[in-house]
């Protein structure tokens, strides 16, 4: 163990070396293949997925490539149940691919390969005896670094936590996953303080987007987004307090689901905020490469009664819905906020989605920009987060510097003018919180009226103003944060890609905020739409989003 008097750079370097040493020698990419890529990777546009680098590495067998690339989660579970795949071979296949992903994108923090293989052997034995543990039996699942696993560290990329040692307990969600039969094999990278959309910290480095390494993978569950997109995980679990599941999903072209807070277990994680404040309640949720995986995971967890594991969860069973029997849906269309405009590829993706839905007979209902409170919600949430200085203090006390994206995001918020929240400068902490909670209530009341007045089943719109963007430039998350403020469930569906041939002029004003738009650099970046319903309507959100996904992808 290093001394806390050791410079932070040395402590961070030592941790990264220990993490790298856990990758088996046989799973290391040959240096000649690595040297064929322009470096540093984050400065150059490399498509790690389209380049076929996994096959070229020779690390996976043809069967392992097949396992990791060609089966949605439902099919993997079916083949595991039928004995066509063993949990051990599936676990090794995804472990190898995760190891490759780590060497190229820095998406991992902790690897648990030996633990995972022993677990898989145990589960295969139970399967042979006809004693499956649960609906996730034998499936490898990756988890964000904050989820504690007994015997493994949960440093969440903070120098201050490097000497905390291995966790002595499991997070509540980890206990549930194990009881449901899952195999845990890796933990994934996050941003410093988990309060920025660029997954970069001074311990584990910067997560790169596997579609384009010059772009961000998003945050704060950026390691999950990159790993799932690279197909190094069939199903990953992130967390979301302002978009931290949905932003990596939209940046990396995966599906993602943010449930209503407290429907899935969140307790016993390692964090860096004052949990006693409980201002905006974070939640845990899945990322995957197929939509059905989101529903499979969410229903499996809720059916297992999370309240028996985590006292902070709501003990409400999974409900069936009648969405599939409806001949058509009535869908609200979230408008663009004038202060927070959409990049051309995002606007086109939303327009194209609307056109396809209308062609299938679904009714689209434009919503009022003045009532949806995109900018107002962002202002309120930012100022709520500002009440808690814990994360910044932990960073400062350790001696490590702020990562650039945290500084850039704060500067961008201060640059803009805001007028929804009254002046708080003469109020103490409790008075500020009370004022902000009243503003939250005003927004929630307007949204209650939106649902009633428009008689809509769900709302679709952009998940962000942008696709993945250059590192440290994502800045503000308005189109995801509003749904955390309202505590609405929301799903992100990948749809379309940015194209440099899109002939649209885009010239934001000084009074507007939007990440930089470079058609050449963003060419080929995944686009997405977001689908959401009102609070506690998670089942409807998933069912409606699946109907929309089927429509958009002509299933």
Q: Residues forming the annotated binding site for substrate?
A: 194, 220, 241-244
Neighbours of 80 (CB within 10 A): 23
- Strand-pair partners of 458: 331
Phi, psi of 216 (to 5 degrees): -70, 150
In this structure, is the dihedral angle defined by the CA atoms of residues 393, 399, 405 and 408, taken in order, positive or negative?
A: positive
Strands 183-188 and 108-111: antiparallel
How far is it between the farthest Cα atoms of the chain?
Answer: 68
Q: Exposed, middle or buried, 368 (CB in 10 Å: 0-12/13-18/19+)? A: exposed
Binding-site residues from annotation: 194, 220, 241-244
What distance in Å separates the CA atoms of residue 42 and residue 291, rounded to the nearest whole number?
29
Query: Is residue 220 annotated as part of the catalytic site, yes or no?
Result: yes
Closest CA to 287 of 149, 471, 141: 141
CB-hemisphere CA count at 13 Å for 321? Answer: 19
For 442, the 3-state DSSP assignment is helix
> For 317-428, where are the alpha helices, taking DSSP H only?
344-359, 369-372, 374-385, 390-398, 404-415
Query: Is residue 131 annotated as part of the catalytic site, yes or no?
Result: no
Identify the active-site residue in 142, 220, 295, 405. 220
- Strand-pair partners of 104: none
Query: Is residue 311 annotated as part of the catalytic site, yes or no?
Result: no
Neighbours of 412 (CB within 10 A): 16
Contact 327, 320 (CB under 8 A): no
Neighbours of 511 (CB within 10 A): 10
For 204, the 3-state DSSP assignment is coil
Identify the active-site residue in 57, 244, 405, 534. 244
Closest CA to 327 of 371, 360, 290: 360
- Residues 6+ positions from 525 with CB-CB distance below 8 Å: 211, 212, 215, 345, 467, 468, 497, 498
Contact 202, 192 (CB under 8 A): yes
For 129, the 3-state DSSP assignment is coil
Strands 363-366 and 330-333: parallel
Closest CA to 211 of 38, 45, 37, 348: 45
What distance in Å separates the CA atoms of residue 216 and residue 42, rounded to the nearest whole number?
9
Contact 333, 364 (CB under 8 A): yes
Identify the active-site residue in 95, 96, 142, 144. 144
Contact 522, 504 (CB under 8 A): no
List residues with catalytic annotation. 144, 220, 244
């Amino acid at each position: 163990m290093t001394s806390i008097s050791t410079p932070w750079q040395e402590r961070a370097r030592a941790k990264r070396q220990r993490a790298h040493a856990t990758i088996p020698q046989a799973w290391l990419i040959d240096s000649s293949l690595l040297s064929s890529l322009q470096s540093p990777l984050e400065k150059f546009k490399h498509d790690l997925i389209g380049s076929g680098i996994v096959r070229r590495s020779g690390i996976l067998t043809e069967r392992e490539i097949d396992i990791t690339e060609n089966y949605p989660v439902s099919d993997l579970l079916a083949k595991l149940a039928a004995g066509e795949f063993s949990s051990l071979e599936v676990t090794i296949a995804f472990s190898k691919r995760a190891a490759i992903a780590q060497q190229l994108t820095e998406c991992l923090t902790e690897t648990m390969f030996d633990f995972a293989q022993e677990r898989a052997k145990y589960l295969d034995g139970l399967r042979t005896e006809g004693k499956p543990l649960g609906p996730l039996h034998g499936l490898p699942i990756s988890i964000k670094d904050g989820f504690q696993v007994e015997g493994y560290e949960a440093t969440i990329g903070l120098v201050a936590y490097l000497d905390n040692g291995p966790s002595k307990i499991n997070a509540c969600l980890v206990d549930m996953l194990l009881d449901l039969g899952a195999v845990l094999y890796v933990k994934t990278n996050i941003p410093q303080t988990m309060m920025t959309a660029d997954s970069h910290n001074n311990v584990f480095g910067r997560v790169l987007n596997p579609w384009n390494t010059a772009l961000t993978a998003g945050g704060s569950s950026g390691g999950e987004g990159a790993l799932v997109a690279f197909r190094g995980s069939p199903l990953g679990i992130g967390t979301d307090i302002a978009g931290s599941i949905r932003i990596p999903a939209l940046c990396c072209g995966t599906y993602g689901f943010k449930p209503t807070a407290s429907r899935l277990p969140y307790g016993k994680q390692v964090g860096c905020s004052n949990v006693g404040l409980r201002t905006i309640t974070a939640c845990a949720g899945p990322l995957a490469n197929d939509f059905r995986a989101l529903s499979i995971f969410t229903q499996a967890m809720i059916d297992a009664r999370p309240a028996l594991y985590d006292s902070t969860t709501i003990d409400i069973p999974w409900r069936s819905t009648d969405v599939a029997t409806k001949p058509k849906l009535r869908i609200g269309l979230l408008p663009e906020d004038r202060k927070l405009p959409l990049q051309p590829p995002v606007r086109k993706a939303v327009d194209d989605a609307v056109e396809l839905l209308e062609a299938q007979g679904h009714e689209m209902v434009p919503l009022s920009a003045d009532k949806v409170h995109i900018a107002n919600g962002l202002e309120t949430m930012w100022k709520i987060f500002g009440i808690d200085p814990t994360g910044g203090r932990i960073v400062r006390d350790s001696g490590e510097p702020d990562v650039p994206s945290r500084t850039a995001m704060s500067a961008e918020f201060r640059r803009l003018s805001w007028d929804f929240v009254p002046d708080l400068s003469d109020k103490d902490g409790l008075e500020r919180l009370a004022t902000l909670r009243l503003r939250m209530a005003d927004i929630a009341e307007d949204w209650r009226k939106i649902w009633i007045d428009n008689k809509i089943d769900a709302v679709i719109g952009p998940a962000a103003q942008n696709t993945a963007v250059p590192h440290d430039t994502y800045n503000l998350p308005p189109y995801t944060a509003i749904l955390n403020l309202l505590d609405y469930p929301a799903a992100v569906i990948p749809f379309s890609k940015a194209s440099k041939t899109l002939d649209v002029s885009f010239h934001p004003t000084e009074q507007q905020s939007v990440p930089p738009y470079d058609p050449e650099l963003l060419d080929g970046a995944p686009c997405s739409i977001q689908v959401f319903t009102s609070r506690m309507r998670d089942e409807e959100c998933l069912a409606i989003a699946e109907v929309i996904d089927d429509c958009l992808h002509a299933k």
